[in-house]
Chain A
């Protein structure tokens, strides 16, 4: 099991509604797999956003553990990051993205 930092929330089908859809902050959810090299390299940008931007909620969802759930979001490539605001998908970025690109998704 990969260590997820305290300020990055590991989301599952069970807590997705409360953590993401009902969040009062904008949310970035990165769909990832622990073994995937581009996903590993995406991690520092997510850590940095979580550390520097408390106004944004940073979440990760393991596509290998929750494959069927990830497919409801049409995830076909990892990492894929989806931005949510007030329970709605607002932006989607596929592949490894720089910190500023991820930040712009919720700004």
Chain B
């Protein structure tokens, strides 16, 4: 595949339209509706005589891209990596992997992590956002994954060959997928991430739950809900600052062949901004493919 676009909101669809018209082969992977579909009314957007619903605008966008021949795949992206010889990027869904010459991240912005005391403070001291990067440090140790869906399961499965025990903490939710018996599931809410000092350095020691129990764990991997653009960017080594993907004026990240557009790059959370960035990213990715 030439270009894989993750997300089918205004950024992803605009990227698809411009890249397709520039002659590239374009596939959009989407898990379904995003932030736009939740908007009751879209106004202040060029060409609208009357307000439309977000869902209507989104459906029109997707229909327009389909008419142009853009391929759509329904799936939840749980992983992003370089291929073995660093010539392309691999997008993983629970069902299968897709390899593209370029990838455009347009899956919206990640919800902020819940305000669990210790979560932010202990990042890099046992709290991690990337199992593939940091599983290595937990050989033979007990680890926890915070999350409830495909993404959390994917992270847990990466940890299993390394860790002695992997637990899943759903933080009060029901698991959205079937969790194998080898992963211990905790449904109770997490009140705090606990730490202890080892050789004068603070590190994660366990999780305190709503019923007052302290459950020992040396690592906590955060994988709530679905993997957002920022989560995927972190895994592949794209620069992220203040929960936004760092891009230049062409929407290129620091990873060759990887672009980002829309809410995940920060700034105005508006359709007009997402559409513009998508267009720029689509053209830049198409140009990159031509040069290859």
Residues of A within 8 A of B (CB): 33, 36-42, 44, 63-64, 72-78, 80, 92, 94-98, 101
Contact = CB atoms under 8 A, between A and B. Distances in A.
B118 to A, nearest CB: 14
Nearest to B80: A37
A40 B31 CA distance: 30
Given A36-B133, A41-B254, A96-B237, 16 more contacts: A36-B237, A72-B199, A73-B201, A74-B125, A74-B198, A76-B126, A76-B137, A76-B203, A77-B128, A77-B137, A95-B240, A96-B240, A97-B239, A98-B239, A98-B246, A101-B241
A72 B203 CA distance: 12
Contacts of A98: 239, 241, 246
Q: Which 7 A-B pairs have the closest CB atoms?
A: A94-B124, A41-B237, A74-B201, A38-B237, A77-B124, A37-B237, A76-B137
B254 A44 contact: yes
Interface of B: 81-82, 123-126, 128, 130, 133-134, 136-137, 198-199, 201-204, 219, 234-241, 246, 254-255
Nearest to B201: A74
Chain B interface SS verdict (over half): mixed
A94 B123 contact: yes
A80 B124 contact: yes
A37 B239 contact: no
9 contacts: A41-B238, A63-B137, A73-B201, A74-B199, A74-B201, A76-B137, A77-B124, A77-B128, A96-B238
B235 A37 contact: yes
A80 B130 CA distance: 13
A76 B219 contact: yes
Interface of A is mostly: loop
A44 B202 CA distance: 30
A73 B125 CA distance: 10
Nearest to B138: A76
A39 B124 contact: no
A106 B221 CA distance: 30
Nearest to B236: A37
Contacts of B255: 41
A44 B253 CA distance: 13
Contact of B134 (A37, A42, A76, A92): A76
A78 B125 contact: no
Contact of A95 (B203, B234, B246): B234
A38 B124 contact: no
Contacts of B240: 95-96
Nearest to B130: A38
A38 B198 contact: no
B136 A74 contact: no
B158 to A, nearest CB: 13
Contacts of B203: 74, 76
B137 A42 contact: no
A75 B237 CA distance: 18
B201 A39 contact: no
A86 B235 CA distance: 34
Nearest to A42: B237
Contacts of B201: 73-74
Contacts of A42: 237
Question: Residue among A44, A96, A98 with the most chain B CB within 10 A?
Answer: A96
B191 to A, nearest CB: 22
The listed residue with most A CB atoms (<10 A of its CB), out of B123, B137, B255, is: B137
